[in-house]
Chains A and B, each alone.
Chain A
Amino acid sequence: MNNCVKQTQLCLLIVIVMSGGKYLSLPGILASFAGRDSWISMSLLFAVDFLCFVAILFAMKNCGGKSFYEILCMTVSTPVAKVLMTLYALFFTLRITGGLVDTVDLMSTSLSVVTNWAAFILPVLLVIGYNVAKGLKNTVRVTQIFFVFILISVLLIILLSVKYTDLTELNPFLSEGFKPALDGSVNMSFWFSDCLFLFFCFGNVSVGKRFFTPFIVSFLVGAVLTVMLEITFLCLFGELAPYAQNALVKVSGFNIAGTSYGRLDWIFVIIWLSSIILKSTLYFWAATVALDKAFSINSNKGHVICFAAVALLVLVAPLILPVQQMISDLFILGAGKYVTMFLQYAVPILSPLLVFAANKKHGGEKSIRRVSEVKEQ
């Protein structure tokens, strides 16, 4: 696996990852918690994500060429590091499974593609498996190709529907106070924190002249796009928002002015679907790397086994368990969300301190490679 990437490639990946998967059932579910203030819930979540994101960047900049796993081993001890890696692997696997199950729903209810889970997931796993085998480098290159198309699709879906929107539908602002918005944020936090994969990029990123600015800009672009879609959705549907299953298809339905134009908007939706595949690929890669570290695997055969384990879990889980229900009961309404919050928020916030401690223990040099210092493989 070749995991060396450039900063610009990672920035594009961040935008795609943030917009992939959040346009399906999430807006509707958020609206059921917070009503017209669901966009505030979303903004709040992004604000917290931003703080964690900056913390991770700080850690990445100062990691001294060490991987995140090595830093954890140096600071919190190896067994704890292994446990954390396993938890992250499970977290990513759950996110992948939940996202893909949502995608199958989208396809069957909105795009009239009726199939069983295995028939859907196997071709997807083929694409994901190939990219994971080639390493993160391949995934970011694919992202570079698809980025423009995905961005244009999302922008067209939002902007072409704008003429039907009524911004007054967002009123009254916080009519029932801040609590519903906060409830929405706390309950739906499972679907955020998209940038945790950066933990597995430590030491493998070559950057340009500036370190923070491009990353922050890409995060903001991703956040703004998602919030814009949420606002468009609320302004279009108002009271009906909580009942909409697939927000993106609902919003895109307003794209075409006259109903005699068919559902050409589905083409934009399908192009956007590639962002879900890319996001799943990225999380698969992160889960595989996390498992590699958890079980101290260094050989290619071992990588394959780890990938196969994750793939098997993703393939089999929805066949025997009601995944969406489980996620809803455990991680949205249940206590499981506090465990994931620890992984999503506590660890990232603490990561700069961990890096600082690791550097102090073992001494660290500047880890960020400039473009001119390409690492020889």
Chain B
Amino acid sequence: MKKFAGKILLFLAVCLSLWLANSYTRNELADRAVVLGLAIDKDQSGFEVTAEVVAPSGQDQSGGADTKLLSGKGKTIEEAVGDIHRVSGKDPSLAQTGIILMGEGIKEVNVLSFLGYFTFSDAFKDDVVVAFCEGKAKDVFESASPVEQIVSFALQDIIKTASDKTGGVNNYLQKFAENQISPSSASYLSVVKKKEESASQDEKGDGKKPSLYDCSSVCVFNKGQYAGELDEMQSKGFALLSNPSAYASFVVNSSSNEFGVESEITVGIASKKISFETLFEDGVPVFKVEFEAKLKRQRTDASGDVVNFLPESDGEISKDAVSQISAETQKLILAALNGCKERNCDYMNIADLFFKKFGNSWTQYAKNNPDYLNKVVFEPKIKVSD
């Protein structure tokens, strides 16, 4: 028996390997349609989900990557995604999805009805970019970016740049979903708008016309329902308050620029400090906003970056310019805050902040005063300096 022990062990090892090989379901890359971005549209017949999938052309080492658009329709998102599987023959893989773009048709639907498909799935990373667009989301995916071949990547770059550098906002899946079920029951999304297509840009070989996108607008959702798009001032004010890394730039009249000539100059906020304070004064909720910002003259820095600022130099921005900016900032912030009242949508998360400080007593107050937004008193305190 001992003589055969080694052979028996080898035999058992081979059997175990064969059994294990058949017991672990493979998830082969070659059998999947890797989805880089999802566009969701809604019409009367149901949902239309368009996925931008990777479609490699072959052993081309030149670095180009092809993507194709696959659309599926269904009464639910799940059905629509399943339809993509049916038409393509490949199981869509949503693990690489970087952006979910919702079209105008979503206005008619409560997003909470389908958000769970994404939020409670481990396939989706919770920081997937979520955005809203004018018109059909599918049309946005069908156009091309002049600098990036893959539309999903291009849109992600544009939206993230908007939130980091050019004064827009960015929201991601987990935050968007969480805000909908928080005490404020409201959230926001960046709105992707197509700028007019440049006539000088040639059509790309794949039939897509390059487009430019603007992502500086913001739309809001209240209890999962679309509650409208903020106007320009409200959007700018909201961006000022919500995203600590976004900066804004202001065009002001300057009596004297570097060459001693009167002109308009662009001044940006190099750093800002925002704090919110919630309190009750005589039973009235007061929402205090303290906004402190340091201003800098906008110039290209040593590395050629156009959105950074040179080191501080005192007195570069005149007092007049500072006061202009201060006044404008005040207007923007108030516009953003009052926008909550206008739309009856607490996208500033005021209720959330009150709840975090007062706990159940706020819950009770909100229950007794469903129109608490109208009662909240805003007290912005702005301080800008160079």
Residues of A within 8 A of B (CB): 109-110, 112-116, 118-119, 122-123, 164, 168-169, 171-172, 175-176, 236-240, 243, 245-246, 249-250, 253-254, 256, 258-260, 262-263
Contact = CB atoms under 8 A, between A and B. Distances in A.
Contacts, number: 80
Contacts of B122: 109-110, 245-246, 249-250
A175 B360 CA distance: 6
Given A110-B122, A114-B24, A119-B20, A238 B98 contact: no
Contacts of A115: 23-25
Contacts of A110: 122
B19 A172 contact: no
Contact of A237 (B24, B178, B358): B178
B84 to A, nearest CB: 18
Given A122-B16, A164-B127, A172 B120 contact: no
Interface string B106-132: 000000000000011010011111000
B127 A172 contact: no
A168 B359 CA distance: 12
B357 interface: yes
A161 to B, nearest CB: 10
B178 A239 contact: yes
Contacts of A123: 20
B182 A263 contact: no
B180 to A, nearest CB: 9
A253 B182 contact: no
B97 to A, nearest CB: 8
Contacts of B127: 164, 253-254, 259
A263 B125 contact: yes
A119 B23 contact: yes
B181 interface: yes
B153 A260 contact: yes
B273 to A, nearest CB: 16
Given A171-B357, A245-B122, A262-B96, A240 B20 contact: no
A186 B151 CA distance: 52
21 contacts: A114-B25, A114-B27, A115-B25, A119-B20, A168-B356, A171-B359, A172-B358, A238-B182, A239-B178, A239-B182, A243-B120, A246-B122, A249-B122, A254-B127, A258-B160, A259-B97, A259-B99, A259-B127, A259-B129, A260-B153, A262-B95
Contact of A112 (B27, B119, B128): B27
A110 B27 CA distance: 13
A259 B25 contact: no
B90 to A, nearest CB: 16
Chain A CB within 10 A, most for which of B19, B99, B122, B358: B122
Contacts of B128: 259
A147 to B, nearest CB: 28
Given A119-B24, A254-B127, A256-B125, 17 more contacts: A114-B24, A115-B23, A115-B24, A116-B23, A122-B20, A168-B353, A169-B356, A172-B356, A175-B360, A176-B360, A240-B178, A245-B122, A258-B160, A259-B97, A259-B98, A259-B99, A262-B96
A254 B126 contact: yes
B349 to A, nearest CB: 10
B174 interface: yes
Contacts of B25: 114-115
A165 to B, nearest CB: 12
A240 B206 CA distance: 42
Contacts of A176: 360
Nearest to B23: A119
Contacts of B178: 237-240
Given A114-B25, A172-B355, A259 B156 contact: yes
Contacts of A245: 122
A119 B23 CA distance: 6
B6 to A, nearest CB: 17
Contacts of B126: 236, 250, 253-254
Contacts of B129: 259
A172 B357 contact: yes
Interface string B1-40: 0000000000000001001100111010000000000000
B276 to A, nearest CB: 10
B177 interface: yes
A259 B358 contact: no
Nearest to B21: A119
Contacts of B358: 172
A113 B25 CA distance: 7
B156 A260 contact: yes
Contacts of A256: 125
A168 B355 CA distance: 11
A332 B181 CA distance: 27
B274 to A, nearest CB: 13
A109 B95 CA distance: 12
Contacts of A243: 119-120
A109 B121 CA distance: 8
Those 6 A-B pairs whose CB atoms lie nearest each other, nearest first = A119-B23, A172-B359, A175-B359, A171-B356, A259-B98, A114-B25
A164 to B, nearest CB: 7
Nearest to B122: A110
Contacts of A237: 174, 178
B8 to A, nearest CB: 16
Name the residue in B24, B99, B174, B177 with the highest tally of chain A Cβ atoms < 10 Å from its Cβ: B174
B153 A240 contact: no
A240 B174 contact: yes
